[in-house]
Amino acid sequence: MAEQQEIQLWQTIAPVEFVPRIAERTEAQSLLISTRQGAGYQIGGGQLAHAIQSRATHMLMDFSQNACAIRYQIDGNWEQLPPLPRETGDAMLYALKQLCLMNPADRRSPQTGQCGLKVGKEKFTLTLQSQGVATGERVLARIENEKIPFERMADLGMRDKMFQSLREQLNSSGNIILITAPKGEGLTSTWVTVIHAADRLVRDFQSFENQEKPEPEIINISPNFFGGDTGLTESQMVGKAILKEPDVLVFPELPEPETLGTALNQVTKTDKQIYTRVVADSALHALTRFMSQYRDSAAEIARHVGAVLSQKLVRRLCDNCKLGFEPTPQLLKQLAIPAGRVAMLYQPFIPPPIEQQVDEDGRPAPITPCHVCGGRGYYGRIGIFELLTPGDQLRAALLKTQDISQLAQVAKAEGHRGIQAEAVLTVARGLTSLDELKRVFAKK
C-alpha cells in the first residue's frame, strides 16, 4: 500500500485573504485572479495563516537546492518548522512576490514589497524582503497587525507609580519628551501607547511627518506632511504649523537641526512641548545621542528635557502554566529584594524529556502541552521600562561628559532607578522569569 502523504502545516488552516496594495480596484482584482491560478496562492495563504495563528511576527524562508527551510519568530524567539519541499516553496514564493508587486522571476537582486492580509476581521500588513545568497535565496516576511494591540501602558507592563510620573511629564509644559528602545524592540507600539496616554482632548497636538513615510493615524493629533509632492521642507512645514500655536510638536523621526532649533524656541519662549523618539539601548544612551546630534542646542536640551522613557522587551510568563517557587534568602539578597518582601517567584513550566514522561508504572504518559502558550512557557512580550527624569546635577553633568557610567552614577544619586533594577521588579511581580532576564540582558 502506498504510504499516505504527510499533511503540511499550510494545509491545516483556512488561508488568509490577500489585499494587493493597488489603488485601482480592477487591477487588484485582475492580480488576484491571475495569482489564484498558480499552486502557490493556497500554499502562501495557508502558511501565513498558520504563522498568524502561531503568533509569529516574522517568517524566515531559506531556499537551498532541495528545500525551503522555514522559521517563525514568536515572542522575539526564532523557532524552526518542518521544511517545505523546494517545489512547494518555490510556488509559494512566486505567488507572494506577485501579490507584493515584486518580480517573481528575479531570485538574486534585493527586493522589497508589501501586501495587505485579512484573517476574519483582523487586518495585517505583509512586508516581503528577498535577497539572493550563496546557497540560494533568503526571504523575510514581516507580519504586522494594523491594530496596535496595546491600549494602556499597563498592558505593556508599566508599573502604576511609574505611569503617574510619566503622565505628569507628558501633560506638563516647556519640556522635551524622548521615547526610546533598541532596534526591533517595540518602539512603535510604545510610542503610540505613550501618545494615547497624553491629554489630547484639551491641547493641540501637531505631528510632522514625511509624506512618503506616514505614521498610523491617532485621534486628536493633526498630521502635517512635508516632502513628497507637498513642495515643503520639514522646516517650512514646522514654520507654518507654529502659526496655529500648537501646544505639542510631535516628531516621529528626529528632526533636522534647523527644525529642532525652531521647535526649541517654542519650548523656551512659549512653554510648548516636543515629543520625539530615537533608537537607543538605554535612557542615557538616547539622551547623550540626542544631544550629540544637536550640539548647537545641547544646553537648551539639557535644560528642558523632562523625561526619557526607555524599554527592553522580555517574554511574559504564561499565566496558565507558570510555576511558583519560594526564593532562598541568598537569592533574594542577590536580587537586592528585602527579606519577606516577596514570598514567591515564578518560572516557566518546562516538560521533562519525552522518555521521562511516564506514569507510576513506567508506561509512556506524554504530557499535554499547555493549550494557551503551546508548551512554550511564555505568552507574548512585555516591556521593562526605565523612566529618566533628570535633576539639576544630571543636567549639569550632561554638558560636561558623555561617559554613560559617570552619568549613571549622577542619575542614581538623584534617585533614578536603572533598567536592571526595574527588571528585578518585573520578576518580583511574577511577570517574567530570572532565566528570561539573563537571556535578554546577555544579548549584545
367-419 pLDDT, tens digit per residue, is 888 999 988 999 999 999 999 999 999 999 999 999 999 999 999 999 999 89
In the numeric block, which cell numbers belong to residue 192?
Answer: 503610540
Q: What is the pLDDT of residues 47-101, one digit of tens each?
A: 999 999 999 999 999 999 899 999 999 998 999 999 999 999 999 999 999 999 9
Q: What is the pLDDT of residues 279-337, one digit of tens each?
A: 999 999 999 999 999 999 999 999 999 999 999 999 999 999 999 999 999 998 888 88
pLDDT for res 320 = 95
C-alpha 239/C-alpha 173 separation (Å) is: 20
Q: Give just the sign of the alpha carbon dihedral 289, 290, 294, 296.
A: negative
C-alpha 22/C-alpha 30 separation (Å) is: 11
Average model confidence (pLDDT) across the chain: 92
Residue with cell 522589497: 112
C-alpha 361/C-alpha 306 separation (Å) is: 65
Residue with cell 493556497: 42
pLDDT for res 444 = 57
C-alpha 39/C-alpha 35 separation (Å) is: 9
Largest CA distance in the chain: 85
Q: Is the pLDDT of residue 361 over 80?
A: no
For residues 78, 80, 83, 89, the Cα torsion angle rounded to the nearest 10 degrees is -10
Residue with cell 528577498: 130
- Residue with the larger pLDDT of the pair 403 and 356: 403
Helices marked H in 227-350: 234-242, 257-270, 283-293, 298-304, 329-334
pLDDT for res 441 = 86
Residue with cell 493615524: 217
**Numbered ranges of CATH 3.30.450.90 in the chain:** 9-145
> pTM for the full model?
0.84
What is the mean pLDDT of the segment spanning 430-441? 92
Q: Percentage of the chain surpassing pLDDT 90?
A: 77
pLDDT for res 3 = 45
pLDDT for res 175 = 96
Q: What is the pLDDT of residues 194-237, one digit of tens each?
A: 999 998 888 999 999 999 888 888 888 999 999 988 999 999 99
Q: For residues 164 and 170, is the Cβ–Cβ distance under 8 A?
A: no
Q: Percentage of the chain surpassing pLDDT 70?
A: 98
Q: What is the pLDDT of residues 45-59, one digit of tens each?
A: 999 999 999 999 999
**Numbered ranges of CATH 3.40.50.300 in the chain:** 153-311+385-399
pLDDT for res 353 = 81
Task: List Cβ neighbours of 290 (8 Å cut-off, separation of 6 or more).
Answer: 178, 254, 278, 301
C-alpha 296/C-alpha 10 separation (Å) is: 56
Rounded to 5°, angle at Cα 281 from 278 and 286: 45
φ/ψ of 115, rounded to 5, equals -155, 150
Q: What is the pLDDT of residues 204-216, one digit of tens each?
A: 999 999 998 888 8
What is the mean pLDDT of the segment spanning 252-258? 94
CATH topology of domain 153-311+385-399: Rossmann fold (3.40.50)
Residue with cell 507609580: 161
Q: Is the pLDDT of residue 151 over 70?
A: yes
What is the mean pLDDT of the segment spanning 18-27? 93
C-alpha 240/C-alpha 231 separation (Å) is: 13
CATH architecture for residues 9-145: 2-Layer Sandwich (3.30)
- Cα 103 versus chain centre, distance: 29
C-alpha 117/C-alpha 51 separation (Å) is: 12
- Residue with the larger pLDDT of the pair 359 and 121: 121
pLDDT for res 318 = 96
pLDDT for res 391 = 96
